[in-house]
Amino acid sequence: MINRRNIVGAGLLGAAGAAAAFANPEVAQVLAPAKINRNRRKFNMVTTWPKGLPGLGRAAERVSERVYAMSDGLMEIKVFAAGELVPAFESFDAVANGSADMYHGAEYYWTAKSPAFPFFTAVPFGMTAQEIMGWIDFGGGQELWDELSGQFGVKAIQGANTGHQMGGWFRKEINSLDDLVGLKMRIPGQGGDVLRALGGSAIALSGGEIYQALQTGSIDATEWVGPWNDYSLGFHREAPYYYGPGFHEPGASLAVGMNLKVWESLTAGEQAIIKAACESTNHTSLGEFTYQNSVYLDLLVREHGTQLRSFPPEVVKAMSEAAYDVRAASGKDGIEKRIYESFEASLKLMRGWAKVSDGAYYPARELGK
């Protein structure tokens, strides 16, 4: 049964509230229905990846999808493949000068801006995927990255990781150091510096340019990522020898970079959404690459006759020695020196744990075959 007294009482209270609101604007603000700020934000993201590329290209799309979902559709990122808005290697400048809002790419592509950028992707004989995540998130790496990128008007965050990469595709076998002399290879970052130190020629090419260069003989060898992404670009059709592991990129971290003014215009909540989307994509990609590389390595060997090879010990030793010198040369002073010193200190620390954990476990696991 409806209680008429309650209805009348409620009406009187409502009338009293309305009267108080008219009499006092402050009361009106308290009684008014809450207004939710639902500003819509749209961003353009340029990438360094060929259109439709699995793994790397998919990671950029995942960041976009997760930002959209977590913001209930209020934040929208439109992803452009390399060349659709700007060439791959111009992505950083496009974001820095504001002609694009964001990029997804590899920081070692910006080595000309600073020799310290490769530390935030991968350096030869450096950190594995887990280790670079540890350094950036917990060892002071992100703060140094912010300082470095901030000089160019960019805010960068980890946005994917390929895990351990392969050493590359070669037309001819590498049996000694002599085979590296004069070798023309697509290899970026400090890995390219190591090859130059050993007498080879390192050539910078974006992903979409590599196959033709390999096909025409403009290059003798190329590295890219690993079996999954390499298969999609068809390198196995032009070079029969697949060398591993890739000492030049033991755990390549990819980045999402955002124009710093655009980043600072976001609310704390919006920044948190972008960070969360990048972090989840970073973790998802590592598991995805680990599994898919296993699938495609088997496919390449079993169905396409790919010949797996390891670099000879003398080549590995020479690469390791050159890598140490290359890393040291990139951190001579200023922010570069502080990044180098932080990286090396964290690497030394984590090597101790790796030696008694993964390093000891993998050989032991093989005993049970």
Which positions make up the binding site for Na(+)? Answer: 224
Nearest to 348 by CA among 53, 177, 131: 131
- The C-alpha atoms of residue 190 and residue 116 are separated, in whole angstroms, by 10
* Feature table: binding site for substrate: 165, 186, 223, 249
Nearest to 173 by CA among 248, 244, 241: 241
In which order are the strands placed within the sheet that holds 168-170? Answer: 201-203, 184-186, 221-222, 168-170, 241-243, 307-309
How does DSSP classify residue 48? S
Residue 78, beta-bridge partner list: 44
* Feature table: binding site: 165, 186, 223-224, 249
- The C-alpha atoms of residue 11 and residue 14 are separated, in whole angstroms, by 5
Residue written as token pair 């690469």: 319
Task: Quickly count: other Cβ atoms within 10 Å of residue 254's Cβ.
Answer: 27
> Ramachandran region of residue 44, left (φ > 0), alpha (ψ -120 to 50) or beta?
beta
Q: How many CA atoms lie within 13 A of 73 on its CB side?
A: 0
